[in-house]
């Protein structure tokens, strides 16, 4: 089977992009700008909304069924990652036992709903939270406070000596965490100084050839 990933360079779609490289299945890429509604382009265009009415990336084509938009289009990053990992069990990127799967979903749901949608949403898309322009700076500052607490929590988990997010080993959680580590650097957090245990795991992720190929393709640097 060949997949098509709709993505934007350096966006959260980098995680399923890495996963596609890891599993070795044939895939194509279609870039969609993620500049959003304020600029009136990219994911806000009528053309993209016809493909994905949710107006977001990533989205993966070649998955049976539809929840709106194009037939065979799968949306929501955790769903895409779970689908790819379960469709290619030979890659070993998902625990096979019920508890391991539940722990994977625990990570993915929290990262997607709290770290990404809430905290980075407050920082980069404050207008989603208020129509009052005078309140946007306060929302952004609260996002940074939330993010600091969440990053400290991630660091505490890696502080127990684990090499990867899950005891099972390298999994779909680790490239998703890589996205947030890189975003933290982008907004000025001292990621390596303040989160050394997490940074050590990131270095193990960065050593993977699939990850290196994706970072080069997307033009993303993680230092």
- pTM score, two decimals? 0.94
- Which pLDDT belongs to residue 42? 77
Q: Given pLDDT bands bounded at 50, 70 and 90, which one contains residue 33? A: confident
pLDDT tens readout for residues 203-216: 999 999 999 999 99
C-alpha distances in angstroms, 88 versus 49, 100, 131? 29, 17, 44
Q: Is 75 helix (H, G, I), strand (E, B) or coil?
A: strand
φ, ψ (nearest 5 deg) of residue 130 = -160, 145
Same domain, 196 and 111: yes
* Beta pairing class for 27-31 and 59-61: unpaired
- Which pLDDT belongs to residue 2? 93
How many CA atoms are closer than 13 Å to the CA of 11, on its beta-carbon side?
Answer: 22
In the block, tokens 């036992």 appear at 97
Same domain, 77 and 114: no
In the chain, what percentage of residues exceed pLDDT 70? 96
Same domain, 126 and 195: yes
Structure tokens at 27: 């895939």
- Which pLDDT belongs to residue 41? 62
d(CA 94, CA 172): 7
Decide which of 48, 71, 91 is a domain's last residue.
91
Q: Given pLDDT bands bounded at 50, 70 and 90, which one contains residue 183? A: very high
Length of the chain: 223
* Beta pairing class for 3-7 and 73-75: unpaired
- Which pLDDT belongs to residue 40? 46
Q: Find, among 89, 113, 80, the residue nearest to 7 by Cα.
A: 80
* pLDDT for residue 133 is more than 80: yes
* pLDDT for residue 39 is more than 60: no
* pLDDT for residue 68 is more than 70: yes
Q: What's the CA dihedral at 186, 190, 194, 197 to 10 degrees?
A: 50
pLDDT tens readout for residues 86-122: 999 999 999 999 999 999 999 999 999 999 999 999 9
Same domain, 189 and 141: yes
d(CA 137, CA 120): 13
Would you put residue 55 in left (φ > 0), alpha (ψ -120 to 50) or beta?
left
d(CA 14, CA 179): 7
Q: How many CB atoms lie within 10 A of CB 97?
A: 9
Q: Is 17 helix (H, G, I), strand (E, B) or coil?
A: helix
Domain of residue 16 covers: 3-91
Same domain, 66 and 111: no
- C-beta of residue 108 within 8 angstroms of C-beta of residue 180: no
Same domain, 63 and 121: no
Of the candidate ranges 127-131, 145-149, 205-209, 210-214, the one whose mean pLDDT is the lowest? 127-131
> What value does the mean pLDDT take over residues 177-188?
98
Q: Given pLDDT bands bounded at 50, 70 and 90, which one contains residue 58? A: very high
Q: Is 154 helix (H, G, I), strand (E, B) or coil?
A: helix
Q: Given pLDDT bands bounded at 50, 70 and 90, which one contains residue 34? A: low
CATH label of the domain that carries residue 66? 3.40.30.10
Structural domain count, the chain: 2
Let me know if residue 217 belongs to a domain: no
């Amino acid at each position: 089977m060949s997949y098509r990933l709709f993505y934007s360079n350096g966006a959260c779609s980098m995680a399923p992009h890495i996963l596609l490289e890891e599993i070795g299945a044939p895939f194509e890429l279609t870039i969609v700008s993620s500049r959003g509604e304020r600029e009136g382009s990219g994911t806000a265009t009528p053309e993209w909304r016809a493909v994905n009415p949710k107006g977001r990336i990533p989205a993966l084509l070649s998955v049976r069924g539809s929840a709106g938009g194009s037939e065979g289009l799968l949306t929501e990053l955790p769903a895409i990652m779970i689908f790819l990992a379960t469709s290619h069990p030979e890659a070993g990127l998902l625990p096979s036992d019920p508890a391991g799967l539940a722990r994977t979903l625990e990570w993915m749901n929290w990262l997607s709903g709290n770290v990404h949608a809430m905290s980075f949403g407050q920082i980069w898309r404050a207008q989603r939270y208020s129509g009052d322009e005078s309140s946007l700076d306060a929302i952004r500052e609260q996002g940074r406070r939330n993010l600091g607490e969440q990053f400290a929590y991630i660091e505490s988990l890696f502080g127990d000596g684990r090499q990867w997010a899950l005891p099972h080993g390298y999994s779909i959680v680790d490239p998703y965490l890589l996205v947030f580590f890189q975003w933290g650097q982008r907004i000025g957090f001292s990621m390596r100084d303040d989160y050394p245990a997490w940074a050590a795991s990131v270095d193990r992720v960065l050593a993977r050839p699939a990850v290196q190929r994706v970072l080069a393709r997307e033009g993303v640097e993680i230092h």
